[in-house]
Structure formats: C-alpha cells, structure tokens
Chains A and B, each alone.
Chain A
Amino acid sequence: MASNFLRLRKPYYVESTINCSSSSDQKLVNLSFGIDETRNQTKKRQAKEHHGRRSCLDSCCWVTGYLCTTWWLLLFLYHCCLPFTVVHEVPELMPAVRLKREGLTGIHPVVLVPGIVTGGLELWEGKPCADGLFRKRLWGGGGFTQLLKRPLCWLEHLSLHNETGLDPPGIRVRPVPGLFGADYSAPGYFVWDVLVKNLAKIGYEGKNLHMAAYDWRLSFQNTEVRDRALSRLKSKIELMYRANGNKKVVVVPHSMGVAYFLHFLKWVETPPPMGGGGGLGWCAEHIKAIVNIGPSFLGVPKAVSNILSAEGKDVAYFRAMVPGVLDSGTLGLRALEHVMRVSRTWDSVVSLMPKGGETIWGNMDWSPEEEHVCDFSKKRYFRLSPSDNNVNKSNAKQVFRVKDPVKYGRIISFGKAASVLHSSQLPTAVLKEILHMSASRNFNSSCGEAWTEYDEMSRESIQKIGAADKAYTATTLFDLLRFVAPKMMNRTEAHFSHGIADNLDDPKYNHYKFWSNPLEMKLPDAPNMEIYCSYGVGIPTERSYVYKLSPSNKCKRIPYQIDTSVDGEDRSCLKSGVYFADGDESVPVLSAGFMCAKGWKGRTRFNPSGINTYVREYQSKPLTSGIKSMAHVDIMGNIALIEDILRVAAGATGEEIGGNKIYSDILRMSERINLRL
C-alpha cells in the first residue's frame, strides 16, 4: 500500500506542479484511490500544493529569513567577540592622553556655551498632535525622526510666537540641559563630544564642567525672561568658582554662543531689574579666559540669505540640481516656505545678521577682503608649507590679482551685473523710492491666510525690489529687510542692534539690545582676563549673494531666490550665485577675527581695560575624516584646538600656548577697516 502510494505520488505531484491551478487533473487522479487514501492524500496534497506554489512571496520570505539569520549570526559573533577585541580610541582624537602624560590636569572649571542650532530642545507642553512626546527631543538627538513622522506638527512646535518672540500659547519647548544636551545635534555629527571626552581625560567631570544650555531660538534677553537662563549661568559659574577652590572659569562659547556670552558679560554687570547685579568686578573675579570657537562676532552673511529666502549655499545647490523638487509644491510640501515661516519667528537668527554696516563689511565699491584669492585648492597647497607662508602668499597674490577685486560689500545684488559693475553705473536711491511706495502695500487677498510676510507685499513692490541692477550693502540691507519683513524686524530690533557706537558712554548703550554687539559694548573691566578667537580658515565661506526674482508667480511662494545659474570664470570667487571668501564655511574670517585682531587689540574704546586678545587660526589640511577638519561645526574635533583649550584650562596663558597663530589675511583686512578705536 505504502509503496503503491509512493509510486503514485510522483506523477500526481508532478502534474500538480506543472499546472498548479488545474485541480481537475488531480481530481481524476484522486478518484482512482480509495477513500481512506483520498483523505490522507488530500491533506498531503494541500501541503504539497503549498510547497508547489512557492511563489514569489515565499521566495521573498525565504530570502529575508536567510538574510536575517545570517545577519543575526554575524551580529551575535560580533558582540561575542567585541569584548575580547580591544577597542582603542583613535589616538589622534585624544590629545588629552598625551597631555596627561605631560602632567596636565584640569585646574580651572570649564563652561561650554553652545551656538545656534547645536543645542537640543525638548517638549514640555504641546498641542494634541504632539501627544506622547513629553520631554522627548524635538531638536537634536532623536528629535528629527519626529520631523519625518509629523512634519507640520513638528514645525508648529518649533515656531515661536510671531509678535512676542516667545512660545505660542499652549506650547512649551525648552532647552535640554546637561553636558550631553548639545552633544549630538544630529547623529554622527559630533559637536562637543570630542572636546568633552578630552576634558574628561585630564580630570574634568560634572562638578567642574558645565554646559550652559539655552534656547537658541529666543533673543538673548528673552532666555532670561522666560527660562532664567542667564541667572542660572551666573549662579552656576559662581558655584563652580567656589566649589573648585576659587579657581576662575574658562568659558568656551561656540558660534552664536559667542554673542550670547558677550550679552551675558554685560548682563551680569548691570544692576538687577534689567541685569544680574553681579557688579563691575564680577567678570574679573570669576572668568579666566574666554576661548571663542568659530565666533560670529560680527555676524554672518548666511543669515541674510536665510532670512530673505530661507536658502543657504547648500539649499541653493540642491535647487539647481533638482529644480522641481523644492519649487513645485508637489506633495504640498513647500519645504522652503515652511522653513522660512518657522525660522523667521526665531529672533536669534537676527543676531547673526552682519554687524557694523559698511565700515566693516564694505560698501558698494570697497571691501576689506577685496584682495582675496579664491582659488582654494591653490591656497591650501601653499599653506601646506607653512614656514614663511606670509611671503609665499603675498607673492601668490600678486600673481593672481589680475582682475577687478570682487565687490564683497554688496551682500545682496539682483543680477550678476549688479554685483560687478562700478557703483556709478548703477541706479541710485532706489530703495528710498520703494520705501515711499510702501504706503501702497496691498494685501493680495486671493492668497488667503498669509504665510510669510511676502504674501502681504504687493506684486509691484516685490518686482521693484528685485529688479535687476540693484545691490545692497550691509547697511542698506536692513532697509530692505525692514521693507520685506517689517514685523519681524520690528520685533527683533528691540533685541538686537547692528551698528557701531559713536560714543560708548552714551547711556543709551545700557540697553540690553546693544549687549551682544561687540561694536556697541565695552568689554568688562577685567585686565587679567584673556579673549581668544579660535576659528578655522581655508574653506570657502559664503560672503555675498546674487539674487533673482523667482519665476513662480503664485501665492505663498518666496519671491526671491539665489541665482544659481551665475558662475564666474575659473578660479573665480563666484560660484552658483554665491561669492565666497575665506572662513570656516559659515563664518568669514572677517567676522571671526576682526575683534581680536584689531577691535579689542590693546587698549581701545571697546576694550578699555586692555584685556589680552589672541587670534588662533586652524588651517584646513586635506581632510582626513574630520580629525583635522576646520568646518564651523567640525572644528570642535580639531586636535590643535582641543590641545589649546586643554592647556588654557590647565592654567596656561595665551603667551604660553604661543600667542597669535595666523594663516589668513585677517591682519591686513583689519588694517583696511577704518574704525575709530
């Protein structure tokens, strides 16, 4: 019986697999068997049929299973072996190991002040759409996954109130405190991590290392009004000073944190209702040194393009590469418009606008960097032989300076012509005209709810502004912005100022809006304090932009965009509508270095007590994976910089670590700036 069954099974089986769906054949075969067998057979047949129908799906499952199993196996092996294979940390990343062998130990408590965008934000109270996110990161760490899951909700929670510049009602988003608050603003992007690890190696820990987290979206004074961030910082510094045997602190601000800490210095001296009431000697008593990293003392041009059209260099490139994606509200995304709407509610962005106007940033026909050579590859080459690079470089300059200097002073120009022609060839006084016209602004009601302030502008004025042949300098820029974004500028100009003080003793400069502008404040009376400007050089950095009217005429669209089609010749500073200058990718050398190189050097009116300043530049070498990287954020992992910080924290002075270390033209640029000191 069994053998019979076995024998018969084959043909039947064959048939069933030849033609899976044809059951008639099988039925015929089945009929020839006994009833018992039929039942038996049916069961088996079903099973076999199942086997026979190893369809695509089954194969997929099989492959997945196979891959999974292999993966797990490997993972398992990896984890089993890991403890035995010693994982060494990259020695180059740990200058502290070497310094510790030299006998260096942490003496002075260290305060880290993060910059814009790098601090984490978490939710404390939200709208129903953010249910379950209580005390979860919205920004930094895992927060960006929320962006993908519920983008609109996420944007809504990160926006601030349009008029107050504080949280919208019903939403409370707060900075994440603690050392690891600003650690990874995005996965794989080390911000403070390497520095903290190195500090830990020479003996730092929670009690003498503090991260001054603050809400980087708010204007500086508002962080105090809302979160008491300045009071907390003051109390923390005093505590660390006392708890560590009256050792003064070393402050390490990064990027916008630099301006924030300037604000803090003034705030702490000011008597209570507006300030911290620490008295005039507070800084002298508590602060040993301020090591500014990638300082944006005088602002960054990037902030301008950000406000005007929510574009940075990268976004502009992206647009050029994939024209449709960002523009054509496909999927109803309109990412840029959303970004613009949100980032315009952030007061702090305005603090990054270029400060000092034409005196610093240059006017229509002049700029301090005009001798700059834009062949960055060439330049790096020269700098690799650093022995007497000054000579070398100036030679190089003479060789390459054949064309007209770049007119960096025109931070925004509409059309390439406007960016190169001499000012006499450009129409004058256009802005005044437009400003007069502003009475005729009319609401384009067809657009419905206004998204950005552009929607409230009339078509003609948009066009008039964007007409070719207009260029704006760091001074006239503000008129432009006041026109295109009046509400935002109204709000923020109560918190920030971008001018140069004529008379610093004028009592009006006691107002907090001047505190974060190094050109409108005096440094505290602390002759033993030291100020370092540490920044990367040798990376093309956005310095000015060529704009055009955006082709789309629809509502809720940003009317201007960077004209990525404009390119200079070879070795030109102009690329895709952006003029580049030397810097660390975000902050031009001028903004980072000028104050230390000239504005505060020696005893000036900005630095009445003669605080010592040092310019420490870190040049970009051919990249070996971030270890020596100079870019604005990556610089935190630069070993030379870390070594400097460690030495200062262990008690060294600026002279001991080698005084100024300059690769760029910052001294010459500063010379050209004509500022009364």
Chain B
Amino acid sequence: MNKPLSFYRPYFLSKTMSFLRRRNSTDSSKTRIADPNIEKDGADDGDKKKDQYKIPQRRNSGSKKWSCWDNCCWFIGFICSIWWFCLFLYNTMPDSIPQFVTMAITGPLPDPPGVKLRKEGLTANHPVVLVPGVVTGGLELWEGRHCAEGLLGKRLWGGSFGEFYKRPLCWLEHISLDNDTGFDPPGIRVRPVTGLVAADYFATGYFVWAVVIANLAHIGYEEKSLYMAAYDWRLSFQNTEIRDQSLTRIKSNIELLVATHGGKKVVVLPHSMGVQYFLHFMKWVETPAPRGGGGGPDWSAKHIKAIMNIGAPFLGSPKSIALHFSIEVRDIAALRAQAPGLLDKDVLGLQTFKHLMRMFRTWDATFSMIPKGGETIWGGLDWSPETETVNNSAKKGTDNSTRNTGGNGNICDTKGVNYGRLISFNKDWAETHSSKIERVDFKHVAKGDKLTNSSNCDIWLEYHEMGNRAIKAVADHKVYTAGSILDLLHYVAPKLMARGASHFSYGIADDLDDPKYDQYKYWSNPLETKLPNAPDMEIYSLYGVGLPTERGYIYKVAPPSDCSIPFQIDTSVDGDSEDSCLRGGVFSGDGDETVPIISAGFMCAKGWRGKTRFNPSGIRTYNREYKHAPPANLLEGRGTQSGSHVDLLGNFALIEDVLRVAAGATGEDIGGDRVYSDIFKWSERINIKL
C-alpha cells in the first residue's frame, strides 16, 4: 500500500524529504489513507506503536525501498565520483610521481640511451631519415564516399582509427585499393600522413618510432634534422611515386637535409618493409629521369652515410604467404582453434575473414614480402639453411639439450624439421623424405567447376572461381617450397599475382648486367639488384633474435562451405616433443616473430659481405643482433630489451647503436658484427654465386 509513495520517495533529496515530512503532518489526508493498512499489518502490536511509527513509517519504507535501481544509481555515482576524484588528483599531480613509483618498485631505471650518451658528450651530427614499414604508417582521408562524410583529414589507419570503428564496411571500402589498377578506387583519396606524426605512435600509446625520436632528441635532434619518409605502404613501390611522388619527395628532402647540415650525409633508418622501399629508392634515384629520379650514379655516395636496416625482411617473410593464402597467421589460427565457431561461421553476417582477405589482396605492397630467392635461400624439399643435414641431426639433438646454457640461438628443437617446405598439406608430408612423396601437378587442372552456390557470395574472392577439383589438386601437390609457392599463388589468385608480378620479382639474377634488370620491378629485390657505387656507405642489419618466428605451415582443406576460404592452417598438428618447432600447425624458426633470421641477416652476412656481384663497390656491412629478453615486469611496458619486430624500436641497445652512428661513429667504432644466432653458419650453407 505504501508502495506508490515509497516508490517516489527516493527521487527527492533529503532536504525535500524533511520538507515533505513537515507537510504531511499537517496535511493528514494522505496519512489517513495509509493508516488503516498499517493498522492491519501491525494489529498485533497494539496501539502504542502505531502512534510511534505513523509518520516516520513513510520515511523508513522510503529508505528501505531504496530499490535495486537506486542502489545501482548510488553505486554508479559513487564509482564515478571516486573516479573523477582520482582523475582530478592524477591531473593535478606532478608528472614525475609515476616515475617515482616505478622507481620505488623496480629500483632505479637505467638511463635511456639518449641521456646516457649525452652525458658522454654525443651530439646531433648527421641528419636522420626514418622510413616506416608496412602497416605502421598512418593514412588519412582526403576524399571519400558518402559514408565518410565529415571525416576529411582524419586518420583512417593508425591513431584511433578515426571514427571508422563505427562503420566497418565504410572503412573497408576506403582502405581497399582498386583490384585492377592497384590505386585508389574512383572517388576515394587516402593519403599517407606526413611528418614525424606519421609513424611515431601506431595507435594511442603503442609506440613505433616515438622512443627512437625521443632519444634522438636527447642528443640534440629536432624536426629540422629528422625526416620521416612517409609513403603509402599499401601501394607498390613504384606506384607511390606515380601517385604521390613519394620517391621524389624523399630525394628532395634528403638533399635538403644534407644542404642545411653543411654537407653532412644522412643516416637512414628503414624499418620492416621500409628496408625494401629504400632499396627501391636507391635504384630509382640512380636511374635517369623519365623512369627514375635522375640523381646520377653517385647520388647515394654523396648523400648517404649509413643505412641501418631494422628488422629487415630483405628476402621476404613466410608470414606473408599465409596471409595471402588464407589471411591467417599463427595468432589468428590459434584463436580459431580455441573458438572454432566464432571466426568461421558467419555470425552476424560479418564474414570478417573474407572481407579482410579481399582488402589485403588489393594491397600491392604485400607482394614485396613474399619470400625471395626461392629454394636457394629458403631451402628445398629436404634441406634448409637453418637445419643441418640428416646425418648430423642426432648430434644436433644433443646440442639442443644444452642450448639454454650454450646459447647457440635455437629456440626450439629443429630435429627433423624441413623448413624448406613452406606449406605442406599434412604433417606426414611435412616430415617424410621427398623421395617418398608422390606429388601431383596441379597447374594443369582446369578450374571453373564452381563451388556450390558460390554465386551467392557477395564478397568476391578468386577462390570462388576455382572449383572443388582445383582445390583438391592443390592439396594433392602436398608440399610447396619457396619456389613452387609462387606457382601456387599464381594458380589460386591469377589476377592478383599478375598485378603483383609486374611490380615485384622474387628470383635470383644470373647476370646482373642484363639490361632487363633496369626495370623497376627488380629494384626492391636485393638478389636482383646491385648496390649503388658508394664505397664509403655502410649497411647495417639490425634485428631481434630469440623469438619463435613463423617459417612453415601445415594446411588442411577447410570443410566445404559456401563462400569460405577453402584452406586453413591445421591447428591441431603439434610436434612430438615438448619443445618441437611444430606447434599449432606452424613451424617456427628463430627470428623476431615476423622476420626469420635468414631473411634479415643473409644479405649482410654473406650476400653483400665484401665485394660481391650484388655489392660491386664493396660497401661494408654489419650484422647486429639483439637478443630478446621479455620485460622484467609490467611497469616496463613493452620492454627495453625486446627483440620482437616492432618493439625492437624500443630496444635500448639498438637505440644506442643508432645514436652512435648518427653522431658520427662507424660500424667498427660500435663493435662491428654482434651475432647470437648461427646466421654465418647458415649463410655458408646457402649456395649462391657471389
């Protein structure tokens, strides 16, 4: 009976409550209505108590009926208030306190390398050019479709991903390129962000170059002596020049840096795919004007002191194959294994994978990451540079038992692993000797036997034009090496590869003087270009080691369903022993989680070492490896000794090397090679004409 009253009660503040109480005592009509019921309730208790609680009753019940809803409100209000209070405290607090706290917990932090070297008296000397890699550079919108109205100048990639998280399909439409031309679709202009902000942070708080920049600033660098060579990392390298004149801009900016620094040459820091981009740039700048930059053959010698390649995928990365083949990498495959339905089924009609795959396949630049050099570099059916021959495998096994103390760099048991087989369609085929595998040629199997209902697929993928027979034929070929993988990709995605093949090449040149190598598609492949004639230049390869890196995959044919991607990594396959390199269908090797050592280190360890045909002027090369050590505790964030592909840019040892070189040191000054892995031994095994 007093519910209606008590229901409204909480909506008044205490003051109004007291006011109401007073009013109620005079205005007795309400109480009279309430009274009889109360009397019924408390009939046993006698009259005395009735009088006592007649008036305050309402107040009580009001408090009592401070219902769940009110409590929730109260709770939220409480939390909010406390949150705001803390926020206020946090904002008024001097910024040095977090540092204090960190120091109290972890002990004094080591000085960042910039501060340390500044105390040593290092100062800014050579201007520095930063070349970001794939994915890490920001992209912003300059012209968009209707759905992107009002987002001009907002970041489409990087940062907070603009407003686009709200409209994913719109985002996909804008970030994809045209499937035929490899440029923007008509009506859309997405351009790289310029300036240091392009790639200092990828997303809020996730540093890419920020730590390097901060440390450079400590020894006196600033905007005028730093240049971020931002480019659209989705386009093929030559297309960045055609569309944005990116190469011309880099050339002009490097010339400006040299001119405004009294002729001091620049130190270039390319990261990840930026490494290949810069190789392309160096060939481009030498080539005469219509096709190239017309800088003349000694442009590099005049303008570049050193190229410090960070996490360099000179020879590509197997990861890109899995991405092209089935848009999977280890982590995604593992996720799929955990929650089988989630990613496969078209819950909510999302078809995330297919969308992503289509987007990914329009990005020409990703072709640059396909393994280069074929079986010569990546190993054949029965050998690979990372593993010793079968005869020695027993000995190797014993080595491995002591690897923790010996520190020979292997991160897993490589026994019996055939890294050369980048894709195998069964665990057995991944392991049996090649002579016992009977492979069926797939190239001549006709396609066109359409998948059932594939016409219903609203997302177009070239897989839909294959057929069951073709898919079976691909699986029947069983094992693919770096050489045959190209055939595979050409088979499953002919249009895509036709576009990619006109911009990139993956072979090894027999005769570098052949005039065909003047074509730009060879420029980013270190095995098909000569380094410029710049004997004073130095080339470093700085990369992380000690992390399991994808090196080969075991695939299976996915259970047939409409419109899905027909191949998947077979996550159920695991190695025999605890520390087997095979886990979740992925063979891991040593590297920085993305780029295997062989790709990052081979060129500097052997391909360019001394005077070779790839390096006719004898540019000095140095291999600098950084052994991965996980962050000691959470407060260290992503660690100061990390070896992983991107976190390496926050590695203090690497930054110190970079700063020293930027301040004028040579490779010998900073200690020449520093190698933890077996890269030199592996390079020995690679049989390439130099």
The chain A residues found within 8 Å of chain B, CB to CB, are: 7, 10-11, 13-15, 17-18, 48, 51-52, 54-56, 58-69, 79, 82-83, 86-89, 124-125, 128, 131-135, 149, 172, 174-175, 177-180, 196-197, 200-201, 203-207, 227-228, 231-232, 235, 238-239, 242-243
Contact = CB atoms under 8 A, between A and B. Distances in A.
Contacts of A242: 248
Given A172-B222, A178-B197, A62 B249 contact: no
Contact of A61 (B78, B223, B255, B256): B78
Which of B92, B214, B224: most chain A CB closer than 10 A?
Answer: B224
A313 B59 CA distance: 59
A56 B18 CA distance: 12
A17 B249 contact: no
Given A14-B53, A232-B224, A200 B152 contact: yes
- The majority secondary structure among interface residues of chain A is helix
Contacts of A231: 256, 259-260
Contacts of B687: none
Contacts of B78: 61, 64-65
Contacts of B260: 228, 231-232
B191 interface: yes
21 contacts: A17-B60, A54-B14, A56-B14, A59-B14, A60-B81, A62-B77, A64-B77, A65-B74, A65-B78, A65-B79, A69-B76, A86-B146, A132-B96, A135-B214, A175-B223, A178-B197, A200-B143, A207-B244, A231-B256, A238-B252, A243-B249
A133 B214 CA distance: 11
B38 to A, nearest CB: 9
A442 B183 CA distance: 73
Contacts of A172: 222
B684 interface: no
A51 B96 CA distance: 42
B13 A59 contact: yes
B616 interface: no
B56 interface: yes
A7 B218 CA distance: 76
Given A10-B53, A11-B49, A206-B192, A124 B223 contact: yes
Interface of B: 10, 13-14, 42, 44-45, 49, 52-53, 56-57, 59-60, 63-64, 66, 70, 72-81, 91-92, 95-96, 99, 142-143, 146-147, 149-150, 152-153, 166-167, 189, 191-197, 200, 210, 213-214, 217-218, 222-224, 244-245, 248-249, 252-253, 255-256, 259-260
B74 A62 contact: yes
Contacts of B152: 197, 200
Nearest to B221: A124
A124 B222 contact: yes
B73 A65 contact: yes
Contacts of B214: 134-135
Given A17-B56, A65-B79, 8 more contacts: A54-B66, A66-B73, A67-B77, A128-B96, A135-B200, A174-B223, A178-B195, A239-B252
A196 B152 CA distance: 9
A567 B363 CA distance: 69
Nearest to B99: A131
Given A65-B72, A239-B249, A239-B252, A201 B42 contact: no
Contacts of A15: 52
A51 to B, nearest CB: 5
A495 to B, nearest CB: 20
A179 B59 contact: no
A180 B222 CA distance: 19
B195 A177 contact: yes
Given A55-B14, A124-B223, A177-B195, A134 B81 contact: no
A18 B149 contact: no
A172 B218 CA distance: 11
A8 to B, nearest CB: 8
A56 B195 CA distance: 53
B662 to A, nearest CB: 16
A128 B99 CA distance: 13
A177 B196 CA distance: 9
A61 B66 contact: no
Contacts of B191: 205-207
B41 to A, nearest CB: 8
Nearest to A11: B49
Contact of B53 (A11, A69, A200): A11
Shortest 10 CB-CB contacts between residues of A and residues of B: A65-B77, A64-B77, A65-B76, A65-B73, A61-B77, A243-B245, A132-B95, A14-B53, A235-B256, A239-B252
Contacts of A128: 96
A73 B14 CA distance: 26
A54 B63 contact: yes
Contacts of A207: 191, 244-245, 249
B80 A149 contact: no
Given A10-B53, A200-B142, A205-B189, A179 B77 contact: no
A135 B221 CA distance: 12
A162 to B, nearest CB: 22
A89 B77 contact: no
Contacts of B79: 65
A135 B222 CA distance: 10
Contact of B194 (A52, A61, A206, A228): A206
A12 to B, nearest CB: 10
B149 A88 contact: yes
Given A58-B74, A61-B77, A135 B213 contact: yes
Contacts of A88: 149
Contacts of A55: 14
Contacts of A68: 76-77, 80
A3 to B, nearest CB: 9
B282 to A, nearest CB: 19
Nearest to A82: B166
A153 to B, nearest CB: 10
A62 B200 CA distance: 43
A665 B91 CA distance: 53
Given A51-B64, A235-B256, A83 B167 contact: yes
B223 A177 contact: yes
A175 B195 CA distance: 12
B73 A62 contact: yes
B197 A124 contact: no
A179 B13 CA distance: 52
A13 B49 CA distance: 12
A227 B63 contact: no
B81 A61 contact: yes
Contacts of B13: 59, 63
Contacts of B146: 86
B52 to A, nearest CB: 6
A66 B10 CA distance: 11
Contacts of A179: 153
A124 B153 contact: no
B272 to A, nearest CB: 22
Contact of A239 (B45, B81, B248): B248
Contacts of A196: 153
A11 B52 contact: yes
A11 B45 contact: yes
Nearest to B143: A200
A54 B64 CA distance: 10
A354 to B, nearest CB: 33
A227 B223 contact: yes
A651 B55 CA distance: 85
A119 to B, nearest CB: 13
Nearest to A133: B95
Contacts of B167: 83
Contacts of A134: 214, 217
B56 A18 contact: yes
Nearest to A3: B44
Nearest to B197: A178
Contacts of A56: 14
Contact of A243 (B53, B63, B166, B248): B248
A124 B217 contact: yes
Nearest to A70: B73
